[in-house]
Structure 1
Amino acid sequence: MRSYIEGYESSGKGCYVDSTPLPNEIRRLISNAYCSHGKTGSCSQTRLFLVLDEETDLPVWYGLTPGNVLDLSTISDITSDTFISVGVEIDSMVLDASYITREFLAPYTSDSGKMFSGKSPASCGFQYKTRYHEVKNLIPNAKYEILQNGKAYFAYKKECGLFGKKVDSYIFVDQMKALSWHTEYIEKHWEEFERMSDKEKNWNRVKNGFFILLSNIDTHCEEILNRYIERVDIESVFKDAKDYGNLLPLSKWDKTRVDGKIFSDMLTTIVILLLKKKLVPKGYSIPDFAGKPGSLMCCRNSEDIVNIEMPNMQVKELSRILNIPVPGTLDLNKYSRKIYDPTFG
């Protein structure tokens, strides 16, 4: 991973951090733990953590941890291991609600030079409903409306103290999502809605689109919302790793084999992401790349020289996009040696 970081335009300075569960029944895997995160029932699982570079949306670090560990030590371990293993010092994080705790905020002093933004939990002393009541009369006011990714949001910034730290609350309502959920709720639960007080009805009208982003970054609402929305890129990476990198199923291995598999899967995922950056803007997909060149007829002779047929127009186009010429012949011995020793030839 260090060679990949040094050889690619990835700074790792501002990073998205998230994890995905890897359910399994491996008895001798020390990163296993029973967990119900994202599941209807508990199961034994390992969690795969990724750190994505803010500039390139490519992984700069990955790691495994027991499935039920989502706390300050997790973030501390990720930060230190990222620096030790690949030389990347994280100075800004975009996090999910699970990580925003009193302990997490402790090192984020005004002079620490570290920045964070993350979704506020709807519990744990974060004054979630209090913030709603403070802005509820402003929500209908078009003055506080912003547009982001084709959606309209109520947006309001409020400076607040949290666990003794100066933190800004960026309060949002995804108006289309809130109205859609509210309308569906009334249609299905009309009698229950009628029994609500006016106060409860007003909250019901916005609650499914209401969220708060906490940050020590003093900026405008649009930037903080954009930072958080872009965090969904990490979910896309997890999906690509599972769809194309065979990340799951995770089974029938001990720790050594699991570590090797995850390392191989992450290398595959990085290659897939780099291919997508080239292909998608040109209207091609990963299946296009995997399928079209597969039609080339290849014949190997007794001297391990492979003769490759003339590519068709579609293959030539893919070759041009990726800047990888299709050779007429290929010396397997030299090619194999070059794979293991990039300095050869």
Structure 2
Amino acid sequence: MSCSPRLRSTYLTAAAALLAALLTAALPRAALAQLKEAEPETEGVVFGEPAVGRFKVGAEITASRGAVKNIRAMVAVPLECAEQEVRIAEEEFSSEVDSVEYRMLNGDGARQMVINIPFLAAGATARAVVTYDVTTRPVLPPEDDQAAAYKIPEKPDRRLRRYLTASPYIESRHGTVRKLHREALAEADEDLSDWQRVELLYDKMLETIEYIEGDDKSALQTLRDGNADCHGRSAVFIALCRSAGVPARVVWVNNHCYAEFYLEDEAGEGRWFPAESAGSRAFGEMPLARVILQKGDSFTVPERRRDKLRYATDFMIGTPMPGSGQPKAKYIREQL
């Protein structure tokens, strides 16, 4: 017997809900936690064909200078986000490792693996390594009519305001940045959309800053030198965006970084759009699917509350036993 589209939809919805409930009940706690975190908002963003691979992250801690207790090592792991799905494939924990926990920083900007080792005997090595299955999708640009409808948010919430202020290496309030922002938009037609205005800022960065491989530079130092690598160019574009009231942040990928800016559609729904800082010009899109590690440029880690970090770096603390010294850490980050 055939059924109407409405009834068919009802049956399918009920079946899907039942299947989800059964799967949830059967999942181990760790896998369930991963599913709960993987709820990205993807409406309005178009993705390309996914790239699937494995990424290994972890640490080896050696008590090379004598016994140590209460070791706590922190390692950034691939980030679950709208364009990337992350699942644990393999875990390798030596007997010295008491527990491995996960925590988010800045709400959703970085995910850390926290390795706890109560005691490590002199000369011993503890190992905690996790291999992830990572599926990353390139971001395709919106159609012209869609792009023209996006607006700079008029009332950014608290979550967004952190991406409108100065941060380590991004001096968005400095006079030099504000001057370049004004220059970029000085001859902008009044009819230009907000998307086009942000694009003018992006093109101004490309025009002003020559790409040269080198050490990481701040936005201000990059503007003074007139050249930088992906980090400095991203910092300049982000600083220009923030100066213009556009939320923007750094996206950290394996051996590279680029920028993201935030605009809202006519319904007030916000979207993050990438902008490449090296190689071919790519505004509002990211044609290459790279493993994403963190999003943001001003992190606070509980163990380092006095420090504002542009990247949640690998870090370790521990208490040497009398007559001992700090242990040696080897951090593992490898794309397989």
TM-score (norm 1): 0.24
Q: Give the number of the structure whose residues are more often strand, by fraction.
A: 2
Indicate the structure (1 or 2) with the bigger Cα radius of gyration.
1
Greater fraction helix: 1
